[in-house]
Amino acid sequence: MSNTEAKLISAVLEDKQVHVLLQANVDNLLRTHNDVWLFIRNYFENNHSVPPVGLVVEKFRDFEPLKGIGATKHHLDELQVEYLNDSLKDILRNAATEVQLGQGSEALEKLIGSTSELKKNTSTIRDIDVTDLDSAIAFFENVKKQQEAGSIGIKTGLPGFDDYLPSGIMPGQLGVFLAYPGIGKSWLSLYFAVQAWKQGRSPLIISLEMSETEVRNRVFTIMGEGLWSHRKLSSGDIELDTLATWHKNHLQGKPEFHIISNDSGGEITPSVLRGKIDQYKPDFVIVDYLQLMSPNQKSDNETVRMKNLSRELKLMAISEEVPIIAISSATPDDVTKLDTVPTLGQTAWSRQIAYDADWVLALGRGANSDVISCVFRKNRNGFMGEFYVQADFDKGLYKYKDLEDSGL
């Protein structure tokens, strides 16, 4: 691949189309001449121009530029194909070795994660020209069709939330539920997922705290809308004929609803999540909860680790065009005030939330109360405000509650 790299570097020195490489994650593609490219990139960022060929040759004696080599874009396409083929060979070779050692399940998870990371490395960023009338008309016609079909954004059925986020939960958004432990953030996020499912969307739940069985029981409880209690479902105290009839009438022919957990102890990283998104093509993703997820970029520093996760999830929401809701646990300043609504400052990665999240919904609930206080701590595409939700966790019922009736 070194000859293709040399052609690419020579082409960009000749036609000066640096932006083509800046858009293409080329840092990850170059192996032999990555140092030459980094020099060109840094020179361009500091001087707003491509370095003279002579300067590059003087600094890198082993690099011999080629003349009349053609357009940068052509050689970038060739490099991406070569990189993709070589990387896939390595991935499949490693997977085959693990299968031979009897490690099939581990091989599958690594295969999913590696191919997703490969897709990210060979993708380019998108751009639009706002003066292009045709593309603008096409975009707004598509938005109008989605709006008429009721599919522009996911509505929750809770007037408070939907009023503060008028367009609904949109593809590409990263939303955050922030609360102390035991408040009900996992329950409420699953309620949101069920509402998305009822609107014809396919949810994907990544559960890092509960087993898939426990999550399924909660989902069935919410879907049942009071037909049975979570307590009875969890204990198996339910008529199987009733369950079968309900399943036939309410679940058959509906969108898929996938739950992924790490019961077996497997590590779930953003790359694994991207692989599952590629596999199931969901319309709505929940990560529960964020502190238990492993970042692609390892760090012993908790703040750095959470910042990496936040950035990776936001970029994934954009590139996969799917909304992602991340559940995050807050750290109380005073353990005697767990019934209060946390602030952004009560997370180790609050500054990164301010950059990455489109909205942050903080939740609070008194020890003996069934009313959840919901406060938007950030809302990039809507309004700031507070609302209340009355929750019957055992029946899976949630309803908007007026301030006057909240009892708070």
Confidence of residue 143 (pLDDT cuts 50, 70, 90): low
Q: Residue 302 is encoded by which pair of tokens?
A: 């908790």
CA angle (392, 178, 211) in 5-degree steps: 65
Beta bridge partner(s), residue 390: 371, 399
Q: Residue 33 is encoded by which pair of tokens?
A: 């001449």
Nearest alpha-carbon partner for 10 in 81, 79, 71, 60: 71
- Lowest mean pLDDT: which of 56-60, 98-102, 226-230, 395-399? 98-102
**Peptide bond before residue 289 is cis, with ω within 30 degrees of 0:** yes
- Lowest mean pLDDT: which of 3-12, 92-101, 122-131, 286-295? 122-131
How confident is the model over 356-393, as pLDDT tens digits?
899 999 999 988 899 999 999 999 888 899 999 999 99
Q: What is the pLDDT of residue 251?
A: 86
How confident is the model over 302-324, as pLDDT tens digits?
778 888 888 889 988 988 889 99
**236 CA to centre of own chain:** 34
Cα gap 321→311, rounded to integer Å: 15
Q: What is the mean pLDDT of residues 219-236?
A: 89
The yes-or-no verdict on residue 265 having pLDDT over 80 is: no
pTM beyond 0.75, yes or no: no
Confidence of residue 174 (pLDDT cuts 50, 70, 90): very high
Nearest alpha-carbon partner for 361 in 211, 156, 59: 156
- Kindly tell me the number of DSSP H helices and DSSP E strands found in the chain: 15, 9
Nearest alpha-carbon partner for 201 in 171, 178, 180: 171
Q: What is the pLDDT of residue 125?
A: 47
Q: Are strands 359-364 and 371-379 parallel, antiparallel or unpaired?
A: antiparallel
The yes-or-no verdict on residue 116 having pLDDT over 70 is: no
What CATH fold (topology level) applies to the domain 152-405?
Rossmann fold (3.40.50)
